[in-house]
Amino acid sequence: MTAPTPSQDVHATAPGEDLSGLTAAAAQFAAELSFDDLDAEVLQLSKRCLIDGLGVMLAGSEQPGMAPLESFIQAEGGAAQSRLLGLGGRRAAATRAALWAGTAGHAMDWDDTQLAEGPGRPYGLLMHPTVPPLAAALSVCDLVAAEEGRPVDGRRFLTAFNAGFEVACKIAEAINPDHYMRGFHTSGTIGTFAAATTAAKLIGLDAGGVARALGVAASMAGGIRAGFGTMTKPLHVGRAAENGVTAALLVRGGFTANEEALDGKWGYLAVAGPGGEPALVRERFGRPFTMLSPGVSIKPYPSGVLTHPSMDALLFLLRDEGVTADDVARVTLRAGRNVLGPIRYRIAKTELEGKFSFAFLLAAIILRGRCGKAEFTDDFVASPECQAMQQKVETAFDQQIEDMGWDRIRSRVVVETTDGRTLEHWADENYRGSPHNPLSDTDVEGKFRDCAAGLLDDARVAAVLRAIWDFDRLEDAGSLLDQLDWRA
């Protein structure tokens, strides 16, 4: 296939094309979804998403950007409705608790990625689907438990989580991919619909109420890619969670909204796409669940999924050829615009910039043989050895790779050694975390342990993992917040 360019509206709406019915289909699906609709495979995948999502929230809660957010929430005060994840039982308004958990969940850019299925959808550029609905569910379950006088159990939590996850993934699949190419950050925009749906489901809104919550969310969904490499990027996901909860609570209180806000010439798809193909998904909510097919990619590295195949390619090359950091004279990453375009920093000075800098990401692989929580620190990024190695790493646009299309993340790593050798390794679809080579359950648990390192002891980690694998039999879903309180 020929790769679409940012100027091509490959899925723009033609005059007279039907842009209707998506809101109603999403709302009906969410309102009618029951726990019995979640088969064993979806439940297993849901639990993997919870382990991964709670892990990255935990790790993210100690990131530098969270300190000013914590000060902001504390200074603001307000109702003590919901616990703030990791903060020793401290409470805030449910909307602010969602803001906190959502921002923490994306603070390290380590949360999972929705995989595209429709034609022309650039691979890996839809949304991070777990954190917005998970943050909403965590904050709202405390609120609901207080109002109802009984805890939200694991089955109810999982049903609401899946409702939001599925609705958002299908909307992301339906919208014109130009939405992202023009500069919207899909996890911040479409993530708002995930959180609104999950919150609406948990508080018991009917189909009309869910539609109105989506209507409010449509006017609150935002986030632009100019914020990448700064604390604002994870705030997009926090705001998605917060705005989704706000939308649902407003509707519960009688707030009105357009019940067809995703549809028509002034609806979200037309305005923010522009356009889309709701017919691709309108009859397919839960048929199958996106979580099941085409699936999600759980990230091995805390950076954009577009960088992972290249990082793995370099890792494997160095191991196979026995090349050490002292042997590296120069590294060139060759790729198309879908890979090079979003990765904006030539040399990273901070860990936030490092998430969008191939020079840093490949330098970390060369120097440490890994790129995890310990490497994503300002001290390591700014260290003399890392800065020097980054100078040896370059990227180059490759027309041959561009012409192969954007349906996969393709690149080629070229290493020149100090003894005159030139070594090459192609990145392919079998990178770790891909649908062709997914992380095992043991790998997902290992990632959680990495996230929890220095925050939770081994016994607490083991208890959290046991609780999540047994989540559908958990009487109090909110009890996980107690177990994740690293400041307690």
Residue 177 belongs to what domain range? 22-300+468-483
Residue 402 falls inside a structural domain: yes
Tell me the pLDDT band of 174, cut-offs 50, 70 and 90.
very high
In a domain, 163, yes or no: yes
What are the tens digits of pLDDT across the range 379-397? Answer: 999 999 999 999 999 999 9
pLDDT tens digits along 391-436: 999 999 999 999 988 777 899 999 999 999 999 999 976 778 877 7
Helix then strand count (H, E) for the chain reads: 21, 8
Q: Domain for residue 433, yes or no?
A: no
Q: What is the pLDDT of residue 14?
A: 47
Residue 364 lies in a domain: yes
254 domain residue, yes or no: yes
435 found inside a domain: no
> CB of 152 within 8 A of CB of 141?
yes
Please, are residues 86 and 146 in contact by the beta-carbon 8 Å criterion?
A: no
Regarding whether 214 and 314 lie in a shared domain, the answer is no
Domain assignment present for 448: no
pTM of the model: 0.89
Residue 251 scores a pLDDT above 50: yes
The answer on 405 and 386 residing in a single domain is: yes
Q: What is the pLDDT of residues 302-317, one digit of tens each?
A: 988 889 999 999 999 9
DSSP 38: S
Residues 188-227: pLDDT tens digits? Answer: 999 999 999 999 999 999 999 999 999 999 999 999 999 9
Phi-psi region of 322 (alpha: psi -120 to 50; beta: other; left: phi over 0): left
Q: Check whether 2 has a pLDDT greater than 70.
A: no
Same domain, 296 and 309: no
Residues 190 and 63 in one domain: yes
What's the CA gap between 248 and 348, in Å, rounded?
40
Residues 27 and 118 in one domain: yes
| Percent of the chain at pLDDT exceeding 90 | 82
The residues, ordered by sequence, that sit 6+ positions from 108 with a Cβ below 8 Å of its Cβ are 56, 59, 60, 63, 302, 355, 373, 376
Both 341 and 290 in one domain: the answer is: no
Q: Look at the chain and report how many structural domains it folds into.
A: 2
pLDDT, tens digit (0-9, with 9 covering 90-100), for 263-317: 999 999 999 988 899 999 999 999 999 999 999 989 999 988 889 999 999 999 9
Do 148 and 295 lie in a common domain? yes
CATH of the domain at 412: 3.30.1330.120
What is the structure's pLDDT at 444?
97
Q: For residue 15, is it within any domain?
A: no
The rounded distance, in Å, linking the Cα atoms of 72 and 66 is 10
Residue 3 predicted with pLDDT over 60? no
pLDDT above 70: residue 187? yes
Residues 207 and 136 in one domain: yes
Phi, psi (degrees; rounded to nearest 5) at 397:
-70, 135
Question: What's the rounded mean pLDDT across residues 21-26?
Answer: 97
pLDDT at 154 over 60: yes
Q: Average of pLDDT values for 139-151?
A: 97
**64-95 residue pLDDT tens:** 999 999 999 999 999 999 999 999 889 999 99
Cβ atoms < 10 Å from Cβ of 254: 7
The mean pLDDT of 246-254, rounded to a whole number, is 98
Q: Return mean pLDDT, the chain.
A: 92
Residues 199 and 63 in one domain: yes
Q: Are residues 130 and 245 in the same domain?
A: yes
Distance, in Å, from the CA atom of 477 to the CA atom of 488, rounded to the nearest integer, reads 19
Do 320 and 267 share a structural domain?
no
Do 149 and 194 sit in the same domain of this protein? yes
- Give me the DSSP letters along 141-188: HHHHHHHHTSPPPHHHHHHHHHHHHHHHHHHHHHB-THHHHTTB-HHH
